Amino acid sequence: MGNPVMVGERIYLRPLEVDDAETLARLISAETETFMERGRLPVSPLGFERWIAEVHERQPPGDIYLAICLKEDGRFLGVVNVMHVDWVNRTGETGSGLGPAAVRGRGYGTEAKHLLLEYCFDRLQLHALRSHVWEPNARSAAALAKQGYRPAGRLKWDDVKDGVYRDALLFDLLREDWLAAREAWRAGRGAV
C-alpha cells in the first residue's frame, strides 16, 4: 500500500497523486452513468495533473481528495473527498466517485465513504458534514442514507441537462448519526 491515510478491510485511502491523472481521465471518458453530467466534455490527463497539484498547494487545505485503492494490488478505484472545509466551524461537504462501472455494487464505495467519514470525524475533528446529489441520482441518495445522512432540503432548479431543470437533494450528517449508521453497517456485515 502506497502512503495510506485510512485502511479498511478491502480498500485503503491515500492522497491523490499527479500520477493518478491519466487514470482519472480514462475513467471519466469511459463513464457510463451520464445523469450527473451535462454532456461529454473532453478530458485530459494534463488538466488533472494541474488540478491535483493545485489541490495540494493550499495549507491548511480547503479541499481534501483521497484515492480509493484496492489493498490486494493497489488498483485505483475512484475518489472520495471533503470539500469546503471550514476549520473554524468544523464543517465540510463530502463527495465520491467510483469507477469503472464494473467495480460498483460490490461495497467498495460504502467502505470508502465510511473510511472518509471516520477520517473527517475522528482525525480532522469535524462536527458536521453535508452532501448533495442531483435528483436523478437515486443510488447516491440511498448510499448517503445508509451512511447516516439525513435529508436537509432541496435546491430547486439547481442544474439543467437536455433542457430539463433538476433539483439538488441536500443531506447533512453529525458525528453521532454516523456512529450509529456505522455500527448498523458493521452488524449487517457480521463485523465486530
Grid coordinates representing 151 are 435529508
List all residues 6 or more positions away from 123 whose beta carbon is below 8 Å from its beta carbon: none
Name the β-bridge partners of 64: 82
SS3 of 17, please? coil
Query: Does residue 106 carry a pLDDT above 90?
Result: no
Q: Domains in the chain, start-ordered, CATH in brackets?
A: 6-35+44-189 (3.40.630.30)
Q: What is the pLDDT of residues 52-61, one digit of tens each?
A: 888 888 888 9
For cell 485511502, name the residue: 13
For residue 185, the SS3 value is helix
The count of other CB atoms within 10 Å of the CB of residue 50 is 13
Mean pLDDT to the nearest integer, 115-126: 96
Contact 149, 121 (CB under 8 A): no
